[in-house]
Amino acid sequence: MDSSLLLSSLPSTPTTLFSKPPPQTLSLVSQIRTPTPKTLTPPPHKPPKFSESRAFPDSLPLHSKNPHVVYRDIRRFARLGRLREALAILDYLEHRGVPVNATTFSALLSACSRLRTPALGRQVHVHIRINGLQSNEFLQTKLVEMYASCGAHEDAMGVLLELSPRSVFTWNALMRGGVTGGPRWGGAPLRVFAEMREAGVGANEYTFACLIKSFAGSPALAQGMKAHALLMKNGFAGAPTLLRTCLIDMYFKCGKARMAMKVFDEIPERDIVLYGAVIAGFVHNGLKREALEYLRLMVEDGVEPNSVIITSILPAIGEDSERNLGREIHGFALKKFRDYNKLVFILSGLIDMYSKCGDIVSGRRVFYGSSERNAVSWTALMSGYASNGRLDQALRSIVWMQQEGIRPDIVSIATVLPVCAQLKALKPGKEIHCFALKSWFLPNVTISTSLITTYSACGCLDYSRRVFDGMTKKNVIAWTALIDSYIKNGCPSIALDEFRSMLLTSYRPDSITITRILSACGDLGALKLGKEVHGQVLKMRLNQIPLVKAKVINLYGRCGEIEKARRVFDGVQSKGSLTCTAIIDAYGSNGRYKEALNLFEWMLSNGFIPNNFTFDVVLAICDKAELLERAVKIFDSMVREYELKASEENYDSVIGLLTRAGRIVEAQSDTSPTLFDWINITISTEPHHDASDWARVELVSGQASKDLIRLDEPTQVRFELQE
């Protein structure tokens, strides 16, 4: 790796790479906690009369000593997520007997909900009680929502039970907090809704909106449909836009696009919110063509797209390579949106769209044409470079963005780490690791998993292990990354040990983990453990996933259990190219070449389309079985009929067969020679002692030297070949 690629502008690597840096002392907190005796004296039993100079010392870095301005500063800290500084000011105000209003506490509770910090939320709750605002219904409602958002369901119910009477707003807050809190929330929405109805509280449209949102993306589609029926039963058949949008969103996120469109078609007047929900739903389900079609219908209905719709449709345009449509939207966005805050996300989406279309030049033009660039646009450019194979530029981009004074965020780090893994750039990876530590991005699960993969690609398994051990919260993806790192570095036995350790935890393997373990069992020939994993596959109902089925067949084939592999293949209901290739490989690896090729013919006759891996397997079988004519025919169909690019292994198989048959001229003319092909031809013809064969070898070697010069290969190799 060239030294110019190193991230010179990142902070220097600490002495111990994996040790956490010392915690940064917050200047505001230190100034408040360690005041001088003259500034902060012990308070008397009764607070003195309010005085600005006494309440707010000169050392306090606030905009003003006016209490209302200080309240605004607290809200500013809360908005920025700096809750500890805000709480430090609250401590000081309480110490001086300065009251705090409900608006300030509301901002703090909203920040706690957003940041999922129940411990800090409890501190705010204490301050609310100290200020005598515990009976404020608005703050009580915010407390219920905050605790529910943070997963503290018992605390939320405790606050709710203190209220008398309990209004629909507090019940809505409990349900709304449960929606934002996700799986950590302990209450079932329908149960809370039932308790609300038992308490005699009538539901409003926001109640049903929270109820429906709680089912979006969850497997509880039946409950979502019950909520839909309940909605109609309670007189919301002609529901307002909010509820209809929630229903459309729920059905799309549950994978039921037809049901979502049924709700949409029943709406006579459609606005931009409904169209936005439909377009985003189609994009979420991978239905890019439908998303583009409804964008066209929206424009025909006279509804002008806003920045949110444009941002959501751009990924679909990029994945569908509709560059001309992307350019039209690009022009519309520049003409329509003058507000930078809206335009910056659209520009980032445009960079991503052009990159996915393979037009990185236009993506760069959009990027450098922007007057102000931020971490989002830089990350989009890095991702574009990486997806177009410009890995060096992607790695340099994280240096260039810092030279512009823009600090990489956690998404930027997550984008550049896979680039280090692909380049096997160990030193830049370590520097990025150091930067992540100093920026407190660790132990983020995504960053930690990327670091495990990066160190694994560089062959540093001990570093991968130490990153994994340092994770406070591990998930299935992290376990899979660790297992995969051992497999790829030739340690399948350790990978199996880690898999056993994973089974002892609360995490259960997913389909990706299972495929990795099946590969390890096949490499080791661990048939007994492989059968146990197969049992887990059946128990977890993963046996209908194509990749898992193929790996099970591959396992039995490698372990010599060809009949068992065939039974698994015959039991597959929906066969495809993956499973067909796996059974062909299983027969071929066990020396049953004729049956393997018969299966290949069966695969073609049943309409299954072979891929590159299929042809790799079949041509390798022809090479082992010395079936020259069959190999040439298959190679020809691969290139001409299926229009697949042949790999070096494919060329090696065909050329090896031709040269062993003494057909050197055909080997030269029927393929596209490279350095490896010529070496293969020369070596393969050495056993032939016929003078004509040696003449052909000399002729081929002479042609090879010309091609080597054209290919700009090393001179030493060229001379060795000519000799």
Nearest to 666 by CA among 636, 639, 638, 643: 636
Average pLDDT over residues 94-112: 87
pLDDT at 675: 34
The pairs formed by 60-65 with CB atoms below 8 angstroms and a separation of 24 or more are 60/28, 60/31, 60/32, 60/89, 60/92, 61/27, 61/28, 61/31, 62/89
* Secondary structure class of 57 (helix, strand, coil): coil
Whether 562 and 608 map to the same domain: the answer is yes
The predicted pLDDT at position 428 comes to 93
Amino acid at 110: S
Going by pLDDT thresholds of 50, 70 and 90, the confidence category of residue 394 is: very high
Q: Can you tell me whether residue 667 is helix, strand or coil?
A: helix
Sign of CA dihedral 481, 482, 486, 489: positive
Q: What is the pLDDT of residue 627?
A: 84
Cα–Cα distance for residue pair 29/550, rounded to 1 Å: 59
pLDDT digit string, tens, across residues 645-657: 887 777 877 877 7
Residues with Cβ within 8 Å of 352's Cβ and at least 6 positions away in sequence, in order, are: 314, 315, 318, 363, 380, 383, 384
With 80 as the cut, is the pLDDT of residue 10 above it?
A: no
Amino acid, res. 471: M
Sign of CA dihedral 591, 595, 597, 599: negative
Q: Does residue 201 sit within a domain?
A: no
Q: How far is CA 583 from CA 562, 608, 610, in A?
A: 9, 14, 13
- Alpha-carbon gap, residue 491 to 633, rounded angstroms: 39
Start-to-end Cα distance in the chain: 34
Q: Which amino acid type is present at position 362?
A: S
Look at 73 and 712; give whichever has higher pLDDT: 73
Say yes or no: 622 and 551 in one domain: yes
> pLDDT band at 503, cuts 50/70/90?
confident
Q: Average pLDDT for residues 267-295, to the nearest whole number?
A: 88
Domain that includes residue 660, residue range:
655-722
Look at the chain and report how many structural domains it folds into: 2
Residue 609, domain member (yes or no): yes
On whether both 627 and 578 belong to a single domain, the answer is: yes
Region 9-35: mean pLDDT is 34
- Asked whether the CA dihedral 179, 184, 186, 188 is positive or negative, the reply is positive
Least confident of 40-54, 186-200, 506-520: 40-54
Indicate whether 659 and 718 sit together in one domain: yes
Alpha-carbon gap, residue 142 to 145, rounded angstroms = 5
Q: What's the pLDDT score for residue 587?
A: 93
- Of the three residues 602, 634, 666, the one that is the final residue of a domain is 634
525: three-class secondary structure by DSSP: coil
For residue 241, pLDDT beyond 70: yes
Q: How far are the Cα atoms of 475, 495, 525, 647 from residue 445, in angstroms, in the given order?
A: 8, 20, 33, 37
Judged against a pLDDT cut of 50, whether residue 214 lies above it is answered with yes
In a domain, 680, yes or no: yes
What is the model's pLDDT at position 235? 63
Is pLDDT of 6 > 60? no
Q: What is the mean pLDDT of residues 668-673?
A: 47
Query: pLDDT value at position 553?
Result: 93
The mean per-residue pLDDT over the stretch 15-37 comes to 33
Q: What is the pLDDT of residue 304?
A: 87
Contacts of 414 (CB under 8 A, 6+ apart): 446, 447, 450
pLDDT confidence bin for 712, thresholds 50/70/90: very low
> Could you tell me the pLDDT band of residue 364, with boundaries at 50, 70 and 90?
very high
Distance CA 419, CA 517 (A): 25
- With bands split at pLDDT 50, 70 and 90, how would you rate the model's confidence at 136? confident
pLDDT value at residue 435: 92
- 549 and 589 inside one domain: yes
Q: Within 10 Å of residue 219's Cβ, how many Cβ atoms?
A: 8
What tokens were used for 719? 């001379």
Of 143 and 673, the structure prediction assigns the larger pLDDT to 143
Tokens of 76: 């500013």
Q: Are residues 676 and 706 in the same domain?
A: yes
Q: What is the pLDDT of residue 660?
A: 73
The one-character DSSP state at 438 is H
Residue at 496 is within a domain: no
Residue 28 belongs to some domain of the structure: no
DSSP output for 92-161: HHHHTT----HHHHHHHHHHHHHHT-HHHHHHHHHHHHHTT-TT-HHHHHHHHHHHHHTT-HHHHHHHHH
Is 563 within the bounds of a domain? Answer: yes
> What is the residue-averaged pLDDT of the chain?
77
Q: Which of 634, 666, 683 is the last residue of a domain?
A: 634
- CATH classification at residue 558: 1.25.40.10
Residue with the bigger pLDDT between 49 and 596: it is 596
Q: What 3-state DSSP class applies to 44? A: coil
702 and 627 in one domain?
Answer: no
Q: Cβ–Cβ contacts within 10 Å for residue 679, how many?
A: 14
Longest Cα separation, the chain: 115
Boundary residue ending a domain (634, 665, 696):
634
d(CA 549, CA 537): 9
Whether 561 and 608 share a structural domain: yes
Mean pLDDT lowest among 143-152, 579-588, 611-620, 668-677:
668-677
- In the block, which residue shows the tokens 């100290």? 130
DSSP, collapsed to helix, strand or coil, labels residue 701 as: helix
pLDDT band for 572, please (50, 70, 90 cuts): confident
| Residues 381-388, mean pLDDT to the nearest whole number | 93
Interatomic CA distance for residues 211 and 247, integer angstroms:
10
Give the number of residues written for the chain: 723
pLDDT band at 20 (very low <50, low <70, confident <90, very high): very low
Alpha-carbon distance 124 to 140, whole Å?
A: 12
Side chain identity, residue 489: N
pLDDT more than 90, % of the chain: 20
Quote the pLDDT of residue 79. 85
User: What pLDDT is attached to residue 676?
Assistant: 41
Indicate if the pLDDT at residue 186 is higher than 50.
no
At 180, is the pLDDT very low, low, confident or very high (cuts 50, 70, 90)? low
Look at the pTM and tell me if it is higher than 0.85: no
Nearest C-alpha neighbor of 576 from the set 541, 538, 537, 614:
614
Pair 575, 604 in one domain = yes
Q: So what's the pLDDT on residue 477? A: 92
d(CA 309, CA 132): 45
Does residue 682 belong to any structural domain of this protein?
yes
For residue 543, pLDDT over 90 is answered with no
306-324 per-position pLDDT tens digit: 888 888 888 888 887 788 8
What contacts 96, CB < 8 A, 6 or more positions away?
A: 43, 47, 54, 55
What's the one-letter identity of residue 446?
T
Residue 106 lies in a domain: no
What pLDDT does residue 452 have?
A: 95
CA atoms within 13 A on the CB side of 159: 29
CB atoms within 10 A of CB 709: 11
Query: What is the predicted pLDDT for the residue at 663?
Result: 60
Report which residue type is found at 444.
N
What is residue 433's predicted lDDT score, i.e. its pLDDT? 94
Query: Residue 561's CB: how many other CB atoms inside 10 A?
Result: 18
Residues 421, 424: Cα–Cα separation, whole Å = 5
